[in-house]
Amino acid sequence: MNKQHFSIYTINMAILLLSCATMQAQNDSIPNKPKDSIRIQQKYGLRVGVDTGKIIRSFLDDDYTGFEVMADFRYSNRMYIAGELGIEEKNTVNDYLNVTTKGTYIKGGIDYNLYQNWLDMDNMVYTGFRLGASSFSHTLNSFQTYSTNQYWAPQLTSDASQDFNGLTAVWLELIVGIKAEIFKNLYLGLNVQLKALVTEKVPANFENIYIPGFNKTYDSSAIGAGYGYSISYRIPLYKKEKIVAPVN
Amino acid sequence: MKYLKPLLIATFFLVAFFVISCERDDICPESTQTTPKLVIQAYDAAVQENRKNIFGLRIQGIDNDNVLEGYNIITEDDLVLPLRTDATTTQYSLRKDTSINNNGTPEDASDDFFNGNEDIITITYTTEQVYVSRACGYKTIFNNVSLTIEPDSDNWILSRQTTSDNQTLENEQAALFNIYH
């Protein structure tokens, strides 16, 4: 593929040089011909993929199960409309709490490619934003009362499971990442996400210690973080011609 | 120059990422109000406005093998008693003018017993679990707390008084009961 374009490029360059040479020989009274340029075909399409990081973590981490599908659609040269859809189940266990969080989430937004590709290569170093929403529930499997005094140890332990259903959360995300075309139309990507919780439905006598898609919440702030590894395939739909200014 | 912008953004993300991942949310801070203890203040039975120290005070929970820490034969007019979170009754033995009788064997502590006047108090309540935070989990608060002095032939605690109508123990700053002796 690259070879083919290299030859087109070479031919174009040759034509360009020739035209320059002929132009020099021409009289100024003849209006200048528009400068020649390189025309390349850019592929536009729908890219669909899965988060491999979540799949691998589901196998390695006993307390986590998750699956995410993602898609982006090239809107313009640098702009992609992107979104993710996922399902997660996470156990949060410490000395005093044992909680299972289950839920689904959806994220949508824009990716902007900062990387100037060489000709029609199609890699991305991108930044973007997402609006995310999750619907989830917690099951408090067990807890032990916290007391600084252990004169009457052990403290009350409850094994009666308690459900907190119908919870929702909405957040905003900033993303930076890369996507590289490793084979024709097949991409590997990784990204990190910085999240800010906009609104959440807090259960009575409990809190959202984990939100699917948002990940772990923090006591001190509404900020969260996440990462993703992706493998995705571009379904090519159409091509658009892009004119690259000639190299001087 | 072309790469400067993405590089800056990536750096910003990395820093933010590490700040978040290094935050310790897993340790319950000592300053947090968790399960409260019951505070009882000792007053003079003769002049009821005056605080009065209990001399030689030794406190031990009934059904507990150990002396309550900090109350092993001391002089005090403030009692801070932890309540059982796994039951709705806690009993304490309050012994005043305590002295240790070593039973004629100073080397052997196992047959020692205590002299002094022992009164038994019974605290009854209902418990409620209140969520604190992910690190502290739940605390227990105590509702409908009442205190009775078990009558014996020689009670040194003459009476007790509740300090408020709402006998809910949610934080241990305020005393819930006064005892007079």
Look over chain B and give the mean of its residue pLDDT values, rounded to a whole number: 85
- Mean pLDDT, residues B23-34: 79
Which positions in chain A touch B86 (Cβ < 8 Å)?
A: 152, 154-157
Whether B35 and chain A come into contact, CB under 8 Å, resolves to yes
Rounded Cα gap, residues A14 and B29, in angstroms? 73
Tokens of A124: 């991305």
> Across the interface, do A207 and B17 touch by the CB < 8 Å criterion?
no
d(CA A13, CA A11): 5
Q: Residue A52 belongs to what H/E stretch? A: helix A52-60
Q: For A210-248, what is each residue's pLDDT tens digit?
A: 999 999 998 878 899 999 999 999 998 888 887 776 655
Chain A hits for B16, CB-CB cut-off 8 Å, are: 194, 223, 225
Contact B119, B79 (CB under 8 A): no
Residue B8's pLDDT is 66
Residue B172 has pLDDT above 80, yes or no: no
Q: In chain B, positions 151-180, which contact chain A (CB-CB < 8 Å)?
A: none
Q: How far is B69 from chain A (nearest CA, A)?
A: 8
Contact A176 B9 (CB under 8 A): yes
**The tokens of A170 are what?**
């909405």
Contact B20 A209 (CB under 8 A): no
Round to whole Å and give the CA distance between B61 and B55. 19
Report the percentage of chain B scoring pLDDT > 90: 48
pLDDT digits (tens, 9 = 90+) for A155-182: 999 888 999 999 999 999 999 999 999 9
A176 to chain B, closest Cα gap in Å: 7
Contacts of A207 in chain B (CB under 8 A): 131, 133-134
The answer to whether the CB of A125 falls within 8 A of the CB of A142 is no
Cβ contact (<8 Å) for B69 and A151? yes
* pLDDT of A144 over the 80 cut: yes
How far apart CA B68 and CA B76 sit, in angstroms, is 14
CB B130 within 8 A of CB B141: yes
For every residue of A72-129, DSSP letters joined together read EEE-SSSEEEEEEEEEEEEEEE-SSEEEEEEEEEEEEEEEEE----STT---EEEEEE
Q: What integer pLDDT is reported at residue B16 of this predicted model?
A: 63
pLDDT score at B164: 72
Q: In chain A, which residues have their Cβ closer than 8 Å to the Cβ of B82?
A: 147, 149, 151-152
Chain A 114-133, residues with CB within 8 Å of chain B CB atoms:
114-116, 125, 127
B67: distance to nearest CA of chain A, Å?
9
What's residue A199's pLDDT?
A: 95
d(CA B135, CA A96): 7
Identity of the residue in B82, B86, B134 whose CB atom sits nearest the CB atom of A97 = B134
Asked whether A169 and A133 are in contact (CB, 8 A), the reply is yes
Return the pLDDT at A1.
Answer: 44
Q: Average pLDDT in the A29-53 region?
A: 79
Per DSSP, helices labelled H in chain B are: 4-21
Q: How far is A223 from chain B (nearest CA, A)?
A: 8
Residue B61's pLDDT is what? 93
Q: Determine the pLDDT at residue A165.
A: 95
Structure tokens at B101: 């009788």
Average pLDDT over residues A24-34: 55
CB atoms within 10 A of CB A34: 6
d(CA B80, CA B120): 15
Surface of A (166-195) touching B: CB under 8 A: 174, 176, 192, 194
Q: Which residue of A has its CA nearest to B21?
A: A225
Cβ contact, residue pair B82, A151, below 8 Å: yes
Over residues B107-131, mean pLDDT:
88
Give contacts of B35 with chain A, Cβ < 8 Å: 145-149, 155
pLDDT the model gives residue A231: 96
Contact status, residue B132 vs residue A146, Cβ threshold 8 Å: yes
Looking at residue A57, its amino acid is: R
Nearest to A206 among B9, B131, B139 (CB): B131
* Average pLDDT of the segment spanning B20-47: 82
By Cβ distance, the residue of A94, A115, A147 closest to B85 is A147
Q: Is some CB atom of chain B closer than 8 A to the CB atom of A157? A: yes
A153 has a pLDDT exceeding 80: yes
Say yes or no for a CB contact (<8 Å) between A125 and B61. Answer: no
Mutate to test the interface with A, among B7, B8, B12, B13 (most CBs of A within 10 A): B13
Please give, rounded to a whole number of angstroms, the shortest distance from the CA of A162 to a CA of chain B: 13
pLDDT at B3 over 70: no
Decide which of B179 and A24 is more confident: B179
Which neighbouring-strand residues pair with B27?
A: none
